Amino acid sequence: MDAGDRPARLTVGVLGSGKVGSALGAALAQAGHRVVAASGVSDNSQRWAADRLGVTPSRPDEVVAAAQLILLTVPDDALPDLVNGLATTGADLNGKLLVHTSGAYGLSVLDPAAKAGALPLALHPVMTFTGRDDDLNKLTGISYGVTAPDVLRPIAEALVIEMGGEPVWIADADRALYHAALAGAANHMVTLIAESSDLLERIGVEHPGRMLGPLLGAALDNVLRLGIAGLTGPVVRGDAGTVRKHVDALILAAPEAADAYIALARLTADRALAAGLLKPEEAERLLDALGGNIWT
């Protein structure tokens, strides 16, 4: 395979035909590639291999033997063992594209396979996957965190564009921080909103989502357009008394949520102070209300 050329139509194998693997495999099929084999452990993975990818579930070694491009779409913690297993069991990896979709890992996790002749790529789709039928539609227009050897960059870029995405190049050494930023924003947001919804339900709000939706939509729009300058609320206003009331109420109602509130309020105050949105004397009052130092 000439790594400088746009990839020809490839046979594709999926190791881990779960939520991510079945969606990406289907996207590659829509782009004209041909999914020829897939493996999955769970009942859902095996069902999606049949329903979404149109193949009968196979053993991992059969997937590797059948495909020119192999998607490794397993949980992050399972990825090193999978790669080592492929390399040590003598799977024919020579000249084959080996693509993992982990955000936290870069190319080094693929080193054992690369030494056996595999062509390593890291293509992480910046999207959440739920296993619902609309997962494939979510791929259009999203970013992919891409790490690739220089010689394979054209192939990585072409594959992402073919799946309807935008490649964003991430240095190998930056993968963990890149993924921490994404997970911190998306995953913790879900936890915070679920916690807020529970608290509202506890005081009798019947439809917390209806109440929170417009507020959260505006807040998200503000921060994406304006950054920290889009911050609103009692911390940036320096309303230490209000913040203390929040903490006291949460300590009584949900102590575990109070700890999270205090930590995030300190971070918010720290950023607001650094951006010049909060005066030092206001920060001192907030410090007292939060019961600790906001500076590191």
| Stated pTM of the model | 0.88
Q: What is the mean pLDDT of the segment spanning 80-87?
A: 96
Closest of 80, 78, 82 to residue 13, by C-alpha: 82
**With bands split at pLDDT 50, 70 and 90, how would you rate the model's confidence at 41?**
confident
Rg (CA), the chain: 23
Question: How high is the pLDDT of residue 90?
Answer: 87
**With bands split at pLDDT 50, 70 and 90, how would you rate the model's confidence at 292?**
low
Q: What is the mean pLDDT of the segment spanning 52-63?
A: 93
Amino acid at 245: K
Answer whether residue 295 shows pLDDT above 80. Answer: no
Question: How high is the pLDDT of residue 2?
Answer: 44
Mean pLDDT of the chain: 93
- In whole angstroms, what is the distance from residue 11 CA to residue 133 CA? 24
Amino acid at 191: T
